[in-house]
Amino acid sequence: MLIEEARWLGEQLSALDPERVFPLLDVGSSTMSFRTQEQPWIDELIFAPARAAGRTVLHLDAKSAEGVDIVADLSDRLAISGLAARGFRSILCSNLLEHVVDRGQIALALLEIVPQRGYLFVSGPYRYPLHPDPIDSMFRPTPRELAGLFPGTRLQREAIIKDGRYLDEIRRTPVEFIRLLVRLLLPFYKPARWRRAAMQLVRYLPWMFRRFEATCIILVREG
């Protein structure tokens, strides 16, 4: 998640009536380490304010890990029904839909979980390089295209958020970039990992001076 994307989402969450937002389900949450160490702005700008206000947020992912409250497969009908019965008032789904095979099916599953008049906070890359996890379909929608995955909803807010460049990421974590360069000097040591490191650099170098952008929307379920 981009820093400015997290800031926008956090500001929108804080601006709404908390009784209509919480409890909130964070879908595709990844781990505690990811949210607080690898990309600490996710926790600082989105979840820490909710905790400070005593609001309930549960984190859902397909894999069990520290910081994942619910492990569920959103293609499983029983799992979807169980989540719908838990009384979540809104859903946050950020940077997930480009990493799934059937984003339309996932969107419909989210609609089943959120109640009528509930919110869906959805975001993802608009201008951003390929980043498989484990796949990247290169789904880079406009706000209207992203909203189109969710029939029976009203688009309440939309934005295309500009953030930094790959150069800014290097400046923020220079040690990681040095490790990447050192790894590239050792192609015969664990060659599969070397190929992944080389491909990462190839994908991101064209973005050295180009700004990353994210699509962000807030939907209200009407149907």
Number of domains within the chain: 2
Task: Say if residue 52 is in the same domain as residue 79.
Answer: yes
Cis peptide upstream of residue 187 (ω within 30 degrees of 0):
no
**Alpha-carbon 5 to chain mean position:** 9
Q: What is the CATH number of the domain that holds 103?
A: 3.40.50.150
Q: What is the distance between the alpha carbons of residues 65 and 215, in angstroms, rounded to a whole number? A: 28
For 139-187, the pLDDT digits (tens) are 999 999 999 999 999 999 999 999 999 999 999 999 999 988 998 888 8
* Mean pLDDT of the chain, nearest integer: 95
- How far apart CA 43 and CA 147 sit, in angstroms, is 25
pLDDT value for 156: 97
190 shares a domain with 80 = no
Range of the domain at 184: 167-204
pLDDT band of residue 116 (cuts 50, 70, 90) is: very high
Secondary structure class of 124 (helix, strand, coil) = strand
Is residue 75 domain-shared with residue 24, that is, in the same domain? yes
| Tokens 């946050």, located at residue | 92
What residues does 24 pair with on adjacent strands?
57, 90
Q: How confident is the model at residue 49 (pLDDT cuts 50, 70, 90)?
A: very high
**In the predicted structure, residue 223 carries a pLDDT above the cut 70:** no
List the 24-27 sheet strands across, edge first: 70-71, 57-61, 24-27, 90-94, 119-127, 213-221, 153-162
Q: Do 68 and 174 lie in a common domain? A: no
Same domain, residue pair 33 and 13 = yes
Give the pLDDT confidence score for residue 159 in this predicted structure. Answer: 98
Same domain, 190 and 216: no
* Whether residue 184 is found in the same domain as residue 123: no
pLDDT at residue 109 is higher than 70 = yes
- Buried b / exposed e over 9-27, threshold 16 CB at 10 Å, is bbebbeebeeeebbebbbb
- 197 and 117 in a single domain? The answer is no
Domain match, 100 and 148 both: yes
Regarding whether 198 and 137 lie in a shared domain, the answer is no
Rounded to an integer, the average pLDDT of 75-91 is 96
Dump pLDDT digits (tens) for 86-102.
999 999 999 999 999 99
Same structural domain for residues 174 and 144? Answer: no
**Residue-level pLDDT at 188:** 86
| Sign of the Cα pseudo-torsion (103, 109, 113, 118, in order) | positive
Q: Are strands 70-71 and 24-27 parallel, antiparallel or unpaired?
A: unpaired
| HSE value, Cβ hemisphere, 13 Å, CA-based, for 78 | 1
The mean pLDDT value for 18-23 works out to 97
Three-class SS string for 144-161? Answer: HHHHCCCCCEEEEEEEEE
Residues 101 and 183 grouped into a single domain = no
Q: Per-residue pLDDT for 190 more than 90?
A: no
